[in-house]
Amino acid sequence: MPNYARWCTQSPDHFYVRFHFPDLKPISWALRKSLQHEDLYVCIPCFQARFAHVMRLREYEKETGKKPLRIFDPFAGVGAFSLSLESVGGMQTTHAIEISPSAAITLKNNSPSTTVYNQCSNEVLRYAIRRHELGSEDVLRDLRNKKPLPPPPKPGDFDCIAAGFPCQPHSTLNRFQKANDVKSHLILNLLSWVDFLRPKYCVFENVEGFLRYRPKATQMDSYRVEGGIEMGGLRFLVHAMLTMNYQVRFALLQAGHYGAPQTRVRFFLIAAKQGHVLPDFPQPTHDFPQGRTLEIKFPNGHAIRPITTAKGTAPFPFVTIDDAISDLPRENPKYIRDPTKKSSQDRERARTFPAIRCEKTRSVVNIPLEPNADYRTLPQHLWRWQFANPVSAIARGGFRPGMYGRLDQDGFFHTTVTNVTPTAKQSFVLHPYIGNAVAWPVGAALGRELKDAAFKKWLQDREDIIYVE
């Protein structure tokens, strides 16, 4: 019996067919007929070449199943980035650092085999270097339970560093830009890990705003910085990786191109040590309707477009909101029993939740259940000051659409963040652990390219073997 799941995960171009219909718009499932291989024309040379490739890939997977590519994530969150890379097979997230206790617990629960350090990445780096190079016996403790942490990472333990280094200073949603934001300096921690561990591969992620990061900028007021080195963050990152003898390539990737029902553009950099195959970036698998070219423009006037975004070039239609959540119940759920008596812990937790005022709730429930309906469809007696007054910020902005908005089931979600209020420009709500993570389909697509590069290196090494009788 063929292993359909394995076949489909090996490539986005792999699929299988069991039935066919007499036309493209069948009126009944009963009209299906089993498809026989004799009914199809096959290019024999192409099939033979692909079959030989798959057989070699299975041989590689069997070997790497015993010794997978080891991943280290110094800014893990709940592990979505590194675990999505791992999901394609042949890789394992063995160690991770996360400063948030709750996120570290979530990561450990979802990946019990991963050694998780609930500590600051700077502290763990210092701990590792002192232990490895100075023979220090100092102990670093877990932030949550104060227990001693496991032995720190050391050179030779890892094949890949995957890291979504902190992005808040570079995000366009950050209204309070700081010229010397401490979080901007964590890129130094990441590069120090690379210098210390010297992995074969690196995969880094950040927001698109990282391309606009200007080191040495001047603080003009509470909201603005000016000056600095144009694209200095990217220049520094690439220069540091090249100096450490790594090959690099970088690009902007759109999550919707890889099967996420959402628009989310992120910056990625892939690196490979000299002597190893540099992974490619995955080309789109889904025909996403947002028509950005994902071009990166440089100060000298040059530009790159590593990703093909032309409409009709991807094999699959994009994943809609309806595709993603249509299996959920459409009616509002009712309580199945009376609420239990609140404990003191429940009451304390409730104090941290912002209360939504009744007038906001009244406005939300009166938005028509129609695609893209928003505050502009409210009856006049429910208008808020900012909806109608000509001196309000909304009026000065031309009464932009979206607030109190309904989604279109045939469209896609916007980037999800965590400001839970219907009037915010970030009016789309999700838990921060998920909203800040790399979209799983994007991580899996990158994982396939990383696996393919490791597979090519494995083939090269086997071809270079000299057999002595």
pTM more than 0.75: yes
For residues 313 and 338, membership in a common domain is answered with no
On the 0-12 / 13-18 / 19+ scale of CB atoms within 10 A, 261 is buried
pLDDT tens-digit series, residues 296-335: 999 999 999 999 999 989 999 999 999 998 888 777 666 6
Predicted confidence at residue 69, as pLDDT, reads 96
- Looking at per-residue pLDDT, the higher value among 376 and 332 belongs to 376
Lowest mean pLDDT among 185-189, 203-207, 350-354: 350-354
Residue 33 lies in a domain: yes
Lowest mean pLDDT among 5-9, 307-311, 415-419: 415-419
pLDDT tens-digit series, residues 135-192: 888 899 999 999 999 999 999 999 999 999 886 554 554 454 554 656 668 999 999 9
pLDDT (mean) for 267-276: 97
Lowest mean pLDDT among 69-78, 206-215, 378-387, 400-409: 378-387
CATH of the domain at 221: 3.40.50.150
For residues 375 and 333, membership in a common domain is answered with yes
On the 0-12 / 13-18 / 19+ scale of CB atoms within 10 A, 326 is exposed
Phi, psi of 450 (to 5 degrees): -65, -45
Residues designated as active site: 167
Residue 418 lies in a domain: no
For residues 72 and 174, membership in a common domain is answered with yes
Residue 434 lies in a domain: no
Distance of CA 317 to CAs 29, 260, 284, 320, Å? 22, 11, 11, 9
For residues 358 and 308, membership in a common domain is answered with no
Predicted confidence at residue 344, as pLDDT, reads 65
- Looking at per-residue pLDDT, the higher value among 434 and 140 belongs to 140
For residues 188 and 211, membership in a common domain is answered with yes
Query: Which tokens sit at 188?
Result: 């130094």
Structurally, the chain folds into a number of domains equal to: 3
Listed residue (139, 86, 141) closest to 117, CA to CA: 141
pLDDT (mean) for 109-117: 96
Domain boundary among 58, 83, 98: 58
Predicted confidence at residue 380, as pLDDT, reads 81
Rounded-to-10 torsion of CA 39, 42, 48, 53: -90
Is the CB of residue 306 less than 8 Å from the CB of residue 284? Answer: no
Query: Which tokens sit at 396?
Result: 């000065």
Lowest mean pLDDT among 169-173, 193-197, 262-266: 169-173
Listed residue (201, 203, 204) closest to 273, CA to CA: 201
Domain boundaries, position 366:
325-397
For residues 84 and 207, membership in a common domain is answered with yes
For residues 108 and 199, membership in a common domain is answered with yes
What one-letter code names the amino acid at 77?
G
For residues 315 and 286, membership in a common domain is answered with yes
Domain boundary among 368, 397, 426: 397
For residues 369 and 447, membership in a common domain is answered with no
Residue 93 lies in a domain: yes
> What distance in Å separates the CA atoms of residue 208 and residue 267, rounded to the nearest whole number?
5
Domain boundary among 58, 77, 94: 58
pLDDT at 120 over 50: yes
pLDDT (mean) for 273-288: 97
pLDDT at 234 over 80: yes
> What distance in Å separates the CA atoms of residue 466 and residue 283, rounded to the nearest whole number?
36
pLDDT at 427 over 50: no
For residues 368 and 250, membership in a common domain is answered with no
Tally of residues, the chain: 469
Residue 332 lies in a domain: yes
Is the CB of residue 405 less than 8 Å from the CB of residue 427? Answer: yes
For residues 112 and 95, membership in a common domain is answered with yes
Residue 424 lies in a domain: no
Return the residue matching tokens 């000051």: 385
Predicted confidence at residue 4, as pLDDT, reads 82
Find all residues with CB under 8 Å of 330, minimum gap 6, and list them. none
Residue 87 lies in a domain: yes
> What distance in Å separates the CA atoms of residue 167 and residue 218, rounded to the nearest whole number?
19
Residue 416 lies in a domain: no
For residues 205 and 282, membership in a common domain is answered with yes
Is the CB of residue 307 less than 8 Å from the CB of residue 267? Answer: no
> What distance in Å separates the CA atoms of residue 324 and residue 316, rounded to the nearest whole number?
15
> What distance in Å separates the CA atoms of residue 265 and residue 208, rounded to the nearest whole number?
7
